[in-house]
Amino acid sequence: MSPRSLVWRGIEAVTALLPDRVLRTLLRGWLDRVARREPPGAALRLLLDLEQDVYGRIDTTAIRYDEGVHAKHRLTGYHDFFVERIGPQERVLDVGCGIGALAHDIAERTGATVRGVDINGASIAFARSRFQHPRLELVEGDARDTLPSDRFDVVVLSNVLEHIEHRVEFLRGIVDAARPARLLVRVPMLRREWLVPLRRELGLPHFSDATHFIEYEPAELEAELRAVGFEPVELIVVWGELWATAVAALAPLAPPTPVPPVSPLASAPSAAP
Ligand SMILES: C[S@@+](CC[C@H](N)C(=O)[O-])C[C@H]1O[C@@H](n2cnc3c(N)ncnc32)[C@H](O)[C@@H]1O
């Protein structure tokens, strides 16, 4: 066992001896001391780090809470956005389908036929064990090269684009192969709360996930969709995310639209207190 694991074992053993109420009082006492530190920027840096520690544990526990499917699937209702925009008989390609919960819901509730593709073998294995459906096919593969040879009516990208570095190339590969009429897209927003610019100002990572290459301004998402010949016709801002419908433009592809410069975060409208 590594020295680090031994230390963790020791900490767990000690904390197991004390009741939660005592540990919480100790923790609050320490947090109060941290919050009073000078300069306040240093205090904020540590408090924001601690917030990330707590958030990470809330995230994994929220998956356990709903027995393997993150509680946000149920609580934010994002499946409904996709389900309500897909008709029976349609063929749907769910790119980056993860554990398959959304792909299964689409197949079950719309009557569509769904193919889910994900690069993560463990997620696809979970999806196959948990979410079987006669109109759902699950494929393990990198969507950059596991491209369909057949047509799809709709391509779903739910919290996937932000994980991709070269998004226009990624999208172009998919739309050229699948030739969909519509894209249904869900991405995180940059201006989701005031802590984002604060983290940035303090030199801390400000994305909600270390594997994100981008968190979006609406204009950035619109530009990426237009760059691959799709016109955004609907853009909903909810839960700090953008949910978009884009339709294949009838006109021939315009030259790629440059992504407009993003105004500085400092000029963002102030959040509610
Ligand atoms: C945040 S999860 C979203 C899962 C699911 N779409 C949902 O809404 O619950 C992002 C998913 O994209 C997948 N992914 C990232 N890059 C990919 C790629 N190049 N090809 C296929 N899947 C990819 C990841 O493995 C992960 O399951």
Query: Cα of 44 to ligand 1 centre, how many Å?
Result: 32
100 lines ligand 1 (CB under 6 A): no
158 lines ligand 1 (CB under 6 A): yes
How large is the average pLDDT for residues 13-18? 93
Question: Mind listing the pLDDT tens digit for each residue in 154-172?
Answer: 999 999 999 999 999 999 9
pLDDT at 253 over 70: no
- Burial-class residue 52 by CB neighbours within 10 Å (0-12, 13-18, 19+): middle
pLDDT at 252 over 60: no
Nearest CA to ligand 1 atom 10: 160
Between CA 157 and CA 122 the distance in angstroms is 19
How large is the average pLDDT for residues 214-230? 98
What global pTM score does this model have?
0.89
Q: Determine the pLDDT at residue 248.
A: 97
Q: Please state, rounded to an integer, the average pLDDT across all residues of the chain.
A: 93
229 lines ligand 1 (CB under 6 A): no
Query: Cα of 3 to ligand 1 centre, how many Å?
Result: 34
Confidence of residue 101 (pLDDT cuts 50, 70, 90): very high
Between CA 189 and CA 235 the distance in angstroms is 12
Nearest CA to ligand 1 atom 25: 120
Would you list the domain boundaries of the chain?
3-65, 71-262
pLDDT at 266 over 50: no
CATH number of 71-262: 3.40.50.150
How large is the average pLDDT for residues 77-104? 98
Query: Cα of 1 to ligand 1 centre, how many Å?
Result: 33
